[in-house]
Amino acid sequence: MKSDTNKQTTHLFSQRFSRNKVMELSITGILRFFTYLVIVLAGYLFLDITYNGSKAVFTKEAPFVNFQFLTEKPQTLHVFEPADIDTQLKSAKAEILTKSIKRRALSNSNYEAAEAFTLAIKDLNKEVKELDDLRKERRLMFSDTEYRALATTPSTKDFVYSTYAYSGGGIGPAIIGTILLVFGSILIALTLGVLCAVYLSEYSKPGKVLQSIRLSILNLSGVPSIVFGLFGFGLFVLYLDWGVSLMAGWFTLALMALPVIITASEESMRAIPKGFREGSLALGASKWTCIRTNVLPYAMPGILTSSIMGIARVAGETAPIMFTAAFALRDRLPWEGLENSTDFFFQGVMALPYHIYVVSSKIPQNEYTQNMQYGTAFVFLLIVGLFALSSIILRVKVRKKYDW
């Protein structure tokens, strides 16, 4: 029966082998492979930062969040390592080194000797690990303030003393600085961007001039961030003499975000159905009334979401604030020690991206500095992610509300 049906199953629409089908399958496979590759790479990046960073940001005990890290100022880390263990460790490590060199020098035939070395190295490694744990248990770490508050410093006989800049304390001022920078530049960029976009999309007459304006705005978004940084430095910091300040940073960031905001705003306004405008004008509204009551309110959510996205990305840039707004270290919070209120705008701040740059390029990388480096990156990632998330939530909510 079965062999019979085999013949009958080749009907009009039965499966047939063809080159096209093979092609189709292999192309799907290739596309899938590269997509997954990208996802794996991105995933690794995020996981790495999250894993290492969460060590700094989260704790094992009750509140689970290391508020100290999030709120305190960066400080120098003072480390006292127990001297005896330190020397033992050093010798053990040296022995491992010599043993492995020796083993490598052995000829290939001498299996037994090599085996013996491997075992010995294994034992030594175990010992090193135990010593290391002991060291971690007995070592003393102080941030700057704690160190200064100490009645007696541990004796240098018992302890090996070393310091690591920026590695103690937290990144509070940098977080605050970043948030200040982002909100300020959102305000400035939105105002400028929306005004420009309203004019461009509603008032200007289409033609060569408008074309070239649009083109130059588009080109602006292709300018490297370091050029913006230098421009801001030249114009705001030097020429207008604002100094390295929040204001200079805001305007530089806002300028950088403008192309995105203008394009997005124009897009949002163009997406408002023509009918709203016509309906409003036909009821006797003037052009501005029409825009104010019937275009901007409905375009605003779209403008906001894409602007927040744009700003969040710009806020991640180091170059534009490097010369204009960011201090590597500032021990005062922005609202501390102001002589008059305008000073608030003309002070430099710490910012996360610049802080990342500083801690990753200016200090050595070891177990004491790593916390700060990864922690900062992780917090920054979180903040940028929050901005992106809020814009997505806003968009989804608004989509539901205005569905025409």
Q: Which residues bind other proteins (CB under 8 A)?
A: 205-206, 273, 275-286, 289, 293-294, 298, 401-404
What is the closest distance, in whole angstroms, from the C-beta atom of residue 284 to other proteins in the complex? 4
Residue-by-residue DSSP string for 15-64: ----HHHHHHHHHHHHHHHHHHHHHHHHHHHHHHHHHHHHHHHB-SSTT-
What is the closest distance, in whole angstroms, from the C-beta atom of residue 402 to other proteins in the complex? 5
**Is 171 or 291 the residue whose CB approaches other proteins more closely?**
291
State in Å, rounded, how far the first CA of the chain is from the last one.
61
What is the closest distance, in whole angstroms, from the C-beta atom of residue 305 to other proteins in the complex? 17
Distance CA 288, CA 295 (A): 10
Q: Is 326 in a helix, a strand, or coil? A: strand
Sequence-ordered strand ranges (E) for 205-349: none
What is the closest distance, in whole angstroms, from the C-beta atom of residue 192 to other proteins in the complex? 26
| Alpha-carbon distances, residue 384 vs 143, 179, 316, 395 (angstroms) | 28, 10, 8, 17
Distance CA 315, CA 297 (A): 26
**Is 11 or 401 the residue whose CB approaches other proteins more closely?**
401
Beta bridge partners of residue 82, listed in sequence order:
159
Q: Which of 238, 232, 240, 233 is nearest to 258 (CA)?
A: 232
**Is 332 or 397 the residue whose CB approaches other proteins more closely?**
397
In Å, the largest CA–CA distance within the chain is: 100
Are the CB atoms for 374 and 55 separated by under 8 Å? yes
What is the closest distance, in whole angstroms, from the C-beta atom of residue 280 to other proteins in the complex? 7
What is the closest distance, in whole angstroms, from the C-beta atom of residue 323 to other proteins in the complex? 44
**Is 40 or 271 the residue whose CB approaches other proteins more closely?**
271
What is the closest distance, in whole angstroms, from the C-beta atom of residue 303 to other proteins in the complex? 16
**Is 276 or 357 the residue whose CB approaches other proteins more closely?**
276
What is the closest distance, in whole angstroms, from the C-beta atom of residue 207 to other proteins in the complex? 9
Are the CB atoms for 378 and 52 separated by under 8 Å? yes
**Is 300 or 328 the residue whose CB approaches other proteins more closely?**
300
What is the closest distance, in whole angstroms, from the C-beta atom of residue 201 to other proteins in the complex? 13
| Residue matched to tokens 């002070």 | 347
Distance CA 92, CA 121 (A): 10
Are the CB atoms for 270 and 229 separated by under 8 Å? no
Element (H, E) at 125: helix 111-138
What is the closest distance, in whole angstroms, from the C-beta atom of residue 210 to other proteins in the complex? 11
Exposed/middle/buried for residue 344 (C-beta within 10 Å: 0-12, 13-18, 19+): middle
**Is 137 or 403 the residue whose CB approaches other proteins more closely?**
403
Q: What are phi and psi of 143, to 5 degrees?
A: -80, 175
Exposed/middle/buried for residue 17 (C-beta within 10 Å: 0-12, 13-18, 19+): exposed
Are the CB atoms for 159 and 81 separated by under 8 Å? yes
What is the closest distance, in whole angstroms, from the C-beta atom of residue 202 to other proteins in the complex? 11
